[in-house]
Amino acid sequence: MVKKFIERFYVGFILFFLYAPIIILIILSFNNSKSRSKWGGFTLHWYKELFKNESIMNALYTTLIIALASAFIATLIGTAAAIAINSMKKTPRTIMVAITNIPMLNADIVTGISLMLLFVAMRYTLGFTSVLISHITFNIPYVILSVMPKLKQLNPHTFEAALDLGASPVYAFFKVILPDIFPGVLTGFFLAFTMSLDDFVITHFTKGPEINTLSTKIYTEVRKGIKPEIYALSTLMFIAVLLLLIIVNRRNAERKEPIRKM
C-alpha cells in the first residue's frame, strides 16, 4: 500500500517536473502585463493580437509547412528503407543501421554546421529548401526506428500466402504488409513531425536570413523579451495536440486492442 503510494507520488512528481514550465507558459499567455515576471490580471488580448501579428503568423506557417513536408518525405523514404534494411543480410544491415544512428547520436550542432558548410560549399543559397532538406535528414532515422520493430513482428507467411494466392508483390504489400506496419509508420510520422517542430539548433545554422521558424524567431527575442503573442500561440498548439491525443486514445481504447503477434 505504502509502496504503491510512493510510486504514484514519484510518477506525479516527475510529470509535475516535466509539465510545470508548460503550465507557466499557459498562464503567461493570459497575463495582462507585458513583463514576464509580473501578473497584471487575466486577459485574452494576446490571443487577439496573435492573429494580427504577421511575422509570427509567417513563422508559424513556415514551421508547419516544413514540419509537414519533412515528416511526409521522411516517412516515404524511411519506410521504404526500413523494408529494404529488414530483408538485408547481416553485414549490409549492420552498416545501414550504423548510418541511421549517426544523425540520432550526433550532436545537433555538428549536424547543423556540417549541413550548412555543405550548402555553402555547393554555393546553394540558404533558405527554405536548405532547412527542409536538413529536417528530412534528421527525421528519416526516427521513421526507420519506428517502422523496424513492426516489420520484425510481421508474420512472413501471410505475405507468402498472398503471393501463393496470386497477388502481385505490390498488391500484396499494400494489402498485407502495409496494414500491419501502419501503426509504426504513423508513429514515425508523428515523431518526425514533433522533432521538426521542436528543432532549433539545426534550423539556426541552415536557415538563411530571409526565413524564420517559430524556434528561430523566439531565439532572436530571448534577449529583448518574448512577445506574449508567442505564449498564446504555443498554448493553442499545445492544447490542439493534447485534444488530438485524447481523442486518438479514446478511439483506441474503444476498439479492442488487437492481439500482438510475437
Binding to another protein in span 203-262, by CB under 8 A = 205, 214-215, 218-219, 222, 226, 230-231, 234, 237-238, 241-242, 245, 249, 252-253, 257
End-to-end CA distance of the chain: 34
Shortest distance in whole angstroms from residue 2 CB to another protein: 14
Q: Is 181 left (phi over 0), alpha (psi -120 to 50) or beta?
A: alpha
Choosing from 57, 64, 68, 113, the residue that interacts with another protein (CB under 8 A) is 113
Rounded-to-integer distance, Cα 33 and Cα 23, Å: 17
Shortest distance in whole angstroms from residue 72 CB to another protein: 14
The verdict on 197 binding another protein (CB under 8 A) reads: yes
Rounded-to-integer distance, Cα 185 and Cα 179, Å: 10
Dihedral (C-alpha) 27, 31, 34, 37: value to the nearest 10 degrees?
-50
Shortest distance in whole angstroms from residue 56 CB to another protein: 12
Shortest distance in whole angstroms from residue 132 CB to another protein: 11
Binding positions for another protein, 146-185, rule CB under 8 A: 146, 148-149, 151-152, 154, 156, 159-160, 169, 183
Residues 6+ apart with CB under 8 A from 243: none
Instruction: Name beta bridge partners: 31.
Output: 42
Q: How many residues bind another protein (CB under 8 A)?
A: 98
Residues 6+ apart with CB under 8 A from 88: 96
Binding positions for another protein, 80-99, rule CB under 8 A: 80-81, 83-89, 93-94, 96-99
58 vs 86 by CB, closer to another protein: 86
Choosing from 1, 2, 121, 165, the residue that interacts with another protein (CB under 8 A) is 121
Shortest distance in whole angstroms from residue 255 CB to another protein: 11
Choosing from 49, 133, 167, 180, the residue that interacts with another protein (CB under 8 A) is 133
Choosing from 50, 142, 162, 185, the residue that interacts with another protein (CB under 8 A) is 142
Rounded-to-integer distance, Cα 179 and Cα 177, Å: 6
Rounded-to-integer distance, Cα 41 and Cα 225, Å: 19
Rounded-to-integer distance, Cα 103 and Cα 82, Å: 16
Cβ distance 70 to 194 under 8 Å? no
Binding positions for another protein, 7-66, rule CB under 8 A: 7, 10-11, 14-15, 17-22, 24-25, 28, 36-37
